Structure 1
Amino acid sequence: MLKSREPQTEGVRVRAIYVETVITAPLDAIWRASQEPVAHCRWDARFTRIMPIAGTAPAEFRYVTAVLPGVEIGGYGMHAGQRDRPDGTRTSALRFGSADVRSPIADGRGYWRYVPGPDGVRFLTGYTYTTRWGPLGRLVDLAFRPAFGWATAWSFDRLRLWLDHGVPPERALRNTVREVLLRVAVLAAAVLLGSGTVAGALAIALTALVLLVLPPGRETPAARRCLRRPPDRLAAAAPTLLETL
């Protein structure tokens, strides 16, 4: 279904969205939570449903993402994983795309790495994609790509909270909604009380700044807790497994 367009080799840097977190849960638990479709959809905000296609090799699937209530965009992909690499790490490679003209993403590729270390498992991803809609798509991507990267990082922290601290993804989402509404309410109150004076305007600006930098609660996912740039060559390198898709 998906054809390799660009040869990838170990050590070649992929210009990609990058996200990394450290999870102290066992490697097998992280693998299951990220590789099993139902578990994956619980924590990853980028997917609402993942439907494997039986009997395909490499494994193919279709996915659905709810972008608004009652509005869903579908896509397709294929993936392969390596559980027993000589260096003790694990790797998963992915190619994906969407035929839905409403999707800003035409096709893409990416990888996950699972790297055990003394402080836990480095769970990281690098991926990139091509846009549709021509020049308009490239313009839209100026906002979409940062938002998509943020959603990936928020989801990774949501997974960490689930596996390391027992916070179910559904509760983590509720915590996020509650905190966002509370911050909006505080800012709205500041605007109502401070409108019309210079001192009030300064108070509104200070309130907005505090709300922006104030870290979320310990049981609320936060994209800021994740690395957003690859710290080393291993993290930035696309695996050779990607060539097989």
Structure 2
Amino acid sequence: MATASFLLAVVCLLGAFDIAYFHWHRCRLGDRAESRAEVWIHVARGFIYALQLALVPNVQFHGAFYAVFIALFVADIGVAMVDVAVEPASRRSQGGLPAGEYLMHIVLSVLVGAYLHAIALDSMAWRHLPSAIVYAPADVPGWLLGTLGLMGAGAAFVAVIEGLALVEQRLPRPAPIHVRVRLRTTVERLWELTQDHRIHPSWDHRFSRIAMLGEVVQTGTAMRYEKDLLVATIRGFGRYKLHRPCRQSTFEFWSEDPRSLIRRGVGLWLYRAVGGGVVEFSTSYTYEVRWGALGRWFDRAVFRPLFQRATERSFRRLAERYFPEGASRVAGARGRKPVHFLGYGGEPAG
């Protein structure tokens, strides 16, 4: 399997370039609804090549097991044929395949033909041996075996990521985070306390430091915030989009720090007297994340629930630390506003 292993390495290197440059960078197939079928085919092919990269250089299938080995390549050919069938509809909005990708596919077809020919020559004798699956690494340099192993892991990883991205696209958008608390105080006192950026980190678990980038807090005023996480400090910025004293603060926030999962977001604070000397203070916010599909799945499964809890704990600490004179009630997940509290495109409504 020495020749087949070398050809497999070349095919996979060119295939990786095809995926990274043409599929992701140039055509952005994962972002196009009309290309989802093609991307699913690429997911399937990624797993097939991961198996080939693991098995071809290392394992021999003797006797009856030879049919299993052949089935791996029949599946590859079948997936390739389906890929060709769906490409016209997938690429129609882009004017078809780019010339460079078309040429790449021709080169890959020739190399894959040579690879399959080498596989056939090296493995035909396995049919006549006693049935067994034998670990027998190909007579190639150790660095090539290691490289093929890494390529196989990479192919499986990319297939998983693309599959997760496709599934995530069909899910409803995550609900905004919403928390509210009722406090026995006045709107004026609550406003003055919560709008003081020097006091804010003392009760809000989401911030370690906040610095205003303007002398007067008003619509348009910017701020810089920091959060200490173990040995790292995550930095970001915010800006008041609408600042109505004792009523509402609407803001946008963003971070250019690549370590920050949050890329940008919008939110609001609302202050409302409900009678009997009680004020309801509520926040609602949502955000977009980095790190592609992994970031979106991590946000759904881990980060957003943690942020919901952190915001609830922050409001509870605000109540306990600064308003201990009256009973307070923090409403978290059950107190969320409907998703449409944000307008189209993520802009706060109202």
**Aligned partner (choices 293, 315, 321) of residue 135 of structure 1:** 293
Q: Paired residue for 1:67?
A: 229
Is 1:158 the counterpart of 2:320 in the alignment?
no
**Higher share in helix:** 2
Query: For structure 2, which runs of at least 5 residues remain unmatched after alignment?
Result: 1-173
Q: Percent identity at matched positions? A: 32
User: 1:44-123 alignment to 2 at 5 Å?
Assistant: 44-54=204-214, 58-68=220-230, 70-79=231-240, 80-83=242-245, 90-119=247-276, 120-123=278-281
After superposition, the C-alpha distances for 1:162-200 in whole angstroms (9 at most, x for unaligned) are: 22217xxxxxxxxxxxxxxxxxxxxxxxxxxxxxxxxxx
Amino acid at match of 2:283: T
Is 1:148 the counterpart of 2:307 in the alignment?
yes
Give aligned pairs, total: 169
Deviation at 1:39, TM superposition (A): 1.1
RMSD across aligned C-alpha pairs, in angstroms? 3.1
Q: Give, in whole Å, the separation in 2 of the partners of 1:229 and 1:236.
A: 16
Counterpart contact for 2:342–2:348, Cα < 8 Å = no
Q: Give, in whole Å, the separation in 1 of the partners of 2:310 and 2:252.
A: 19
Is 1:226 the counterpart of 2:331 in the alignment?
yes
Deviation at 1:232, TM superposition (A): 6.7
Q: Paired residue for 2:199?
A: 39
TM-score where L is the length of structure 2: 0.44
Q: Give, in whole Å, the separation in 2 of the partners of 1:229 and 1:129.
A: 20
Q: Paired residue for 1:237?
A: 341
Deviation at 1:226, TM superposition (A): 2.6
Q: Give, in whole Å, the separation in 1 of the partners of 2:280 and 2:348.
A: 23
> Relative to 1, partners in 2 of residues 1:231 and 1:140: Cα closer, same or farther, differing over 3 Å?
closer
Counterpart contact for 1:32–1:39, Cα < 8 Å = no
Larger Rg belongs to? 2
Q: After superposing the two structures, state which structure 1 stretch, 151-160 or 56-65, moved more.
A: 56-65
After superposition, the C-alpha distances for 1:73-115 in whole angstroms (9 at most, x for unaligned) are: 000110132126xxxxx11101001000011100000001011
Query: For structure 1, which runs of at least 5 residues remain unmatched after alignment?
Result: 1-13, 85-89, 167-217
- Runs of 4+ in structure 1 off by over 3 angstroms are 229-233, 235-239
Counterpart contact for 1:99–1:106, Cα < 8 Å = yes
Q: Secondary structure at the match of 1:22?
A: strand
Q: Paired residue for 1:192?
A: none
Q: Give, in whole Å, the separation in 2 of the partners of 1:159 and 1:16.
A: 21
Q: Give, in whole Å, the separation in 2 of the partners of 1:23 and 1:73.
A: 31
Q: Give, in whole Å, the separation in 1 of the partners of 2:181 and 2:215.
A: 33
Q: Give, in whole Å, the separation in 2 of the partners of 1:238 and 1:30.
A: 24
